[in-house]
Chain A
Amino acid sequence: MKGEPLISVQKLTKHFPFRKGWIFSRKAGAVRAVDGISFDIFKGEILGVVGESGCGKSTAGRVILCLEPPTSGKVILDGRNITRLDRASIRKLRPRMQMIFQDSYASLNPRHCIGSIIGEPLRIHTRNTRQQIRTRVMELLDLVGLNPNHYNRFPHEFSGGQRQRINIARALSLNPRFLVCDEPISALDVSIQAQVINLFQDLQKELGLTYLFIAHDLSMVQHISDRVAVMYLGKIMELTTRERLFANPLHPYTQSLISAIPIPDPEKERKRVRILLNDEVPSPANPPDGCVFNTRCPIAGPQCRLLEPESRMIFPDHVVVCHKADRNNGSLITDSTAPL
């Protein structure tokens, strides 16, 4: 691939144990939010992560950024294992990796002016003078397309798209190299989404950033990502370049996801055939045996209910976790289902 990985995620799991009963509370099981995922993120690339809500995207992002410890597995940053570091070492890592959330409002303190919000990481992590911080915040406001004269305004005076720009400015204040963007545009209107997506792309080119870009909007992920990972019930089902994923998806789950994207083109919509999946995603507290997708999979066979499929590289750069996927498996996707 392109050079060396910035981040290498290895067999990462995050389980949330839960208890049952009040008085004699005992360990009853665990939500397997992230269940053994492995992938590399290369320097300067945008890796998209898609999957239905509850499949573990946000949890994966938080664990990779050391905001939560993993249950098992490793995250390697620049050759160094950063899981299970002590607080002080994590603090030292903070400037290098940042997260941007979906809810632009909840992550901004309503009682502080935006200048002070954006400058906060600089006050905590650097010894810059007040004047230096102020100058840097002005630069950041300009960089994300906000008026530097609005330094003293408060979050409620801004629209959703502008608030997301404030979050981006704050995340960039310490010159991070890696950003986890967790559904950063889901709450925004179409006309504003385009502004923010363009900003993400410009910043990536200008500053050479690396992104893990989490979203459930597949068409936006296709637009922005270099490679895409598809998650289902805490596991990665397929990982490949965006061109391959959308032109030649091999996993039946990816195929049905792609066939379900609404396309803003009436003629294409009339021609295509959707692969409708039954039911909904099972609970991650009690995932199915064998392949976790087998309860909804249109082509599942007996082996799928019995054995967990292994991750197989079917083409260079194209990894699939499915017993039945093979090189010419267009099993479900046909010309009429493809969005192309």
Chain B
Amino acid sequence: MDKILEVTDLITRFHTFDGVVHALSGVSFHLYRGETLGVVGESGSGKSVTMMSLLHLLAAPPARIEGGRALYFGDNGPLDLLGLDTAGISRIRGGRMGFIFQDALSALNPVMTVGRQISETLVEHLGMTTARAWNRSVQLLDYVGIPEPGKRAAAYPHQFSGGMRQRAMIALAIACQPRVIIADEPTTALDVTVQAQIIDLVLRLKSEMNMSVIWITHDLGVVAGIADRVMVMYAGTVVETAPVDDLFYRPAHPYTIKLLGALPKIGQAGNYRLESIDGTPPDLLEKPSHCQFVWRCDHAGDRCWQDIPQNREISPGHQAACFFPFTDKGVR
């Protein structure tokens, strides 16, 4: 399959008064054309920092990208996103790559009408005239399911309900027909019936516009429903990557296994205990020198305290960063 994005050994650190926060310690992944990659992990595991590093959205200082490569394979050959200057990255952002955030209210400009915000993007990236851009903004709002789009285009973000605001931000993100959409917990703040509407919308847009999607969430249920492949992050590292069925039915990394065990079994009433993961994620102020999950792992051996495990192949397309992964044969 054809890759559209390939990130290798991304290292991002925050230089703060308390010390150096090792937010990303060598993150590698890729995105195929037309696929949906689900990214899961608990809060603080580095999901947002990974995506924001790619698009230069982190304030520097304190953030510093200290290593890695992020290739975007566009029409004119590969482009290293990390090496782009300000003008270069703004052409990508909102052009080739669209970003959908959890909190639409802070992502949209509060003092500009929604239609005007979309129009400005169209004028800037596609060189449209203002009048044409406005018409297209209205069409876009219609396309993402906002009723009375002509009227709503002239309204401000705070005049929208939570779900409608999320739709408006999606309209903005897809305005220039991006190749890649990065959705960072886009439904976390929404109620489940509205979440279902938004998931439905993004999946429809994805297939109609032929986009690739990176969908960040902490909800494994959402991932099971939307992702082709899943990447699991823990404490600034990618611990497992797999096609969605492999991840749920044949997880290899002890963290993934425990995470799945901690979920209530929907549909299975009765009294069973959830398997809890004792302890908490590590302090990122310490530079990793061994497996980051070692404190909470039931299967850790001496090696796990001595070395950082690298990704290794479990089966085609399925990798885990663990010295003793579960495999098909149950061999560790």
Could you tell me which A residues sit within 8 Å of B by CB distance? 52-53, 159, 161-162, 189-195, 197-198, 201, 216, 218-220, 222-223, 242-243, 246-247, 256-257, 259-269, 274, 276-277, 280-281, 338-340
B200 touches A269 (CB 8 A): no
Check if A257 sits within 8 Å of B193, measured CB to CB: yes
Residues of the A chain whose Cβ atoms lie less than 8 Å from the Cβ of B196: 259-260, 274, 276-277
B123 in contact (CB, < 8 A):
no
Q: How far is the CA of A296 from the CA of B56 in the complex (A)?
A: 42
CB distance from B174 to the nearest CB of A (A): 20
Chain B residue, CB-CB nearest to A223: B264
Contact flags (1/0) for B69-94 with A, using CB distance below 8 Å?
A: 00000000000000000000000000
Count chain B residues whose beta carbon lies closer than 8 angstroms to a beta carbon of A. Answer: 43
- Asked whether any CB of chain A lies closer than 8 Å to the CB of B245, the reply is yes
Confirm or deny: B192 has a beta carbon within 8 angstroms of a beta carbon on chain A. yes
CB of A331 to closest CB in B, whole Å: 17
Contact A220/B225 with A190-B218, A198-B274, A274-B200 known, Cβ cut-off 8 Å: no
The minimal Cβ–Cβ distance linking B79 to chain A, given in whole angstroms, is 33
B154 CB to nearest A CB, Å: 21
Closest beta carbon of chain B to A322's beta carbon, Å: 17
Smallest Cβ distance from B281 to chain A, in angstroms? 8
Which of B191, B245, B275 is packed against the most chain A CB atoms within 10 Å? B191
Asked if A266 contacts B276 (CB within 8 A), the reply is no
B244 CB contacts on chain A under 8 angstroms: 266
Q: Which residues of A contact B9 (CB under 8 A)?
A: none
**Given A190-B263, A216-B192, A276-B197, are A161 and B280 also a contact pair (CB < 8 Å)?**
yes
Question: In the bound complex, how far is the Cα of B262 from the Cα of A68, in angstroms?
Answer: 36
Q: Determine if B191 and A216 form an interchain contact, defined as CB atoms under 8 angstroms apart.
A: yes
The A interface is mostly helix, strand or loop, or mixed, namely helix
Closest CB in chain A relative to B46 CB, distance in Å = 14
- Determine if A339 and B280 form an interchain contact, defined as CB atoms under 8 angstroms apart: no
Collect the chain B residues with CB atoms within 8 Å of residue A197's CB. Answer: 264, 274
**Bound state CA distance, A281 and B192, in angstroms?**
12
B273/A201 in contact, CB under 8 A: yes
Q: Is B278 interfacial (CB 8 A cutoff)? A: yes
> Which of chain A's residues has its CB closest to B44's CB?
A189
Contact of B260 among A264, A276, A281 (CB under 8 A): A264
Task: Point out the residue from B42, B220, B221 that lies within 8 Å of A261, measured CB to CB.
Answer: B221
Q: What residues on A are CB-neighbors of B259 within 8 Å?
A: 190-191
| A242 surroundings in chain B (CB, below 8 A) | 269
Distance, CA A266 to CA B264, complexed state (A): 15
Residues of B within 8 A of A159 (CB): 280
Q: A198-B274, A257-B193, A262-B224 are in contact. Are A191 and B258 (CB under 8 A)?
A: yes
The residue on A at minimum CB distance from B274 is A194
A280 near B274 with CB under 8 A, answer: no
List 10 A–B pairs whose Cβ atoms lie within 8 Å, in order of A's numbering: A159-B280, A190-B259, A218-B192, A247-B269, A256-B193, A263-B266, A264-B220, A265-B248, A266-B244, A280-B164
Q: Say whether A264 contacts B163, CB under 8 Å.
A: no
Name the A residues within 8 Å of B162 (CB-CB). Answer: 280
Q: Is the CB of B218 within 8 A of A189?
A: yes
Are B277 and A194 within 8 A (Cβ)? yes
Q: Are B192 and A260 in contact (CB under 8 A)?
A: yes
Provide the residues of chain B in CB contact with A243, threshold 8 Å: 269
Q: Which residues of A contact B224 (CB under 8 A)?
A: 262-266, 268-269
**CA gap between A277 and B43 in the complex, in Å:** 30
- Let me know if B51 is at the binding interface, CB within 8 A: no
- Is B194 among interface residues, defined by CB-CB distance under 8 A? yes
Cβ A191 vs Cβ B248 within 8 A? no
Contact present for A219 and B263 (CB under 8 Å): yes
What chain B residues lie within 8 Å of A339 (beta carbons)? Answer: 266-267
Contacts of A161 in B (CB 8 A): 280
A194 near B275 with CB under 8 A, answer yes
Q: Is A263 within 8 A of B221, CB to CB?
A: yes
Query: Do the beta carbons of B222 and A262 come within 8 Å of each other?
Result: yes
Decide if A260 touches B195 in the complex (CB within 8 Å). yes
Q: Known: A261-B221, A264-B248, A266-B245. Contact between A193 and B200, CB under 8 A? A: no
Alpha-carbon distance between A277 and B223 when the two chains are bound, in angstroms: 21
Q: How far is the CA of A246 from the CA of B192 in the complex (A)?
A: 16
B42 surroundings in chain A (CB, below 8 A)? 189-192
User: Do A195 and B276 touch (CB < 8 A)?
Assistant: yes
Is B263 in contact with A280, judged by CB distance below 8 angstroms?
Answer: no
Q: Beyond A219-B263, A260-B192, A263-B224, is A246–B276 a contact (Cβ under 8 Å)?
A: no
In the complex, the answer to whether A277 meets B193 with C-beta atoms within 8 Å is yes
Q: In whole Å, how far is A196's beta carbon from the nearest beta carbon of chain B? A: 9
Query: Would you call B262 and A193 a contact (CB within 8 A)?
Result: yes
Query: A260's contact among B163, B193, B263, by CB below 8 Å, is which?
Result: B193
Distance in angstroms between the alpha carbons of A216 and B188 in the assembled complex: 12
> Which residues from B are CB-within-8-Å of A274?
196, 200
Q: Does B120 contact A (CB under 8 A)?
A: no
Which residues in chain B, 97-111, are within 8 Å of chain A measured between CB atoms? none
Minimum distance in angstroms from B65 CB to a CB of chain A: 26
B204 to chain A, nearest CB (A): 11
Tell me whether B306 is interfacial, beta carbon within 8 Å: no
Question: What is the minimal beta-carbon distance from A44 to any residue of chain B, in angstroms?
Answer: 14
Q: Are A219 and B221 in contact (CB under 8 A)?
A: yes
Best-buried of B163, B266, B273, B280 by chain A (most CB within 10 Å)? B266
Closest to B275 in A: A194
Cβ-defined contact, A262 with B273, below 8 A: no
- How far apart sit A213 and B260, CA to CA, in the bound complex (Å)? 23
* Chain B contacts for A257, CB-based, 8 A: 192-193
